[in-house]
Amino acid sequence: MNQQTNTNQTGKKENGITNEPTHALIRKVPSSYSDHYTREGLNVSEELAEHQHGEYVRALEAAGLRVCFVEADEDMPDCVFIEDAAVVLKKHAMITHVHERRRQEHAAVEAILRKTHKVAQLGGEADLEGGDVLHIGDTTYIGISSRTNQLGAETLGAFLSQFGRRVVKIYVDNCLHLKTGMSYLGNGTLIAISGWFDLNLFDVEDVIYTQSGEHGCANCLRIRDKLLIPEGYPRTEVLLRRFAEKHAIQIQPLDISEFEKGGGSLTCLSLIW
């Protein structure tokens, strides 16, 4: 691993520009979300999902973000996982090309982003979902997964070149998205599932590994001096609290159990810029 001094979503400087997030775009939870996964044999509580989503929104607001909302689409039960629908960087956004059963999700997200961003379309045979895109400093890591193909990564790379960003492709074989198995904590540190990725490709100083049976803690969300982590992973939480204490970061555990049942995680529930 090479040393990396730039950070993302922490108020540090990137390309000489202060990179402190100010906004989050959230999609409301459709009633069809709980219905869909209950039909698939999972016990998903609509009431609890709504409560957990509200707590997530309040955590983003407490971290200093202005939260905007996109209405739910009852025909698209996974629309709450808004991160997959776009890649946002500064005042630019690229609308992605998600799994076929979710393609109707794009229109409402794009309509909102066009009010504040210059929007590009992925197009063609390219496939890309936002869960496969991880920004660290001046580098964007793009997962080549079951949801993002080589053409999608190359198209996004061309889009990001206008910002002088380096793009690194990461092969994802063990999970749905790149950020299912890792995320950036800031301060030169990744959290990742051991053995799932070639971590030599990442320009970071340190890696915290999730503990056995706690893979769900690989997805955390750093915003300025706050680190949101999923509840229910006590041994990995101990490691994250040591990291937080070292860097004067406030940790906030959040219960997102109803979204984990649908394959979601913390970063899935928002677009942040």
Respond yes or no: is residue 175 known to be catalytic: no
Which member of 117, 135, 177, 215 is catalytic? 177
Which member of 79, 175, 217, 268 is catalytic? 268
Q: On the CB side of 125, how many CA atoms lie within 13 Å of its CA?
A: 2
Strands 166-171 and 23-27, how do they pair? unpaired
| CA dihedral sign, ordered 108, 113, 118, 120 | negative
Q: What are the C-alpha distances in Å from 217 to residues 43, 59, 154, 182, 208?
A: 21, 17, 29, 9, 11
Respond yes or no: is residue 268 known to be catalytic: yes
Report whether 262 contacts 46 (CB < 8 A): no
Helix residue ranges per DSSP H, the chain: 31-39, 46-62, 106-113, 150-160, 178-181, 234-246, 257-260
Report whether 271 contacts 82 (CB < 8 A): yes
Task: Give the sheet arrangement for strand 221-223, strand by strand.
Answer: 221-223, 226-230, 250-254
User: Which residues are catalytically annotated?
Assistant: 177, 268
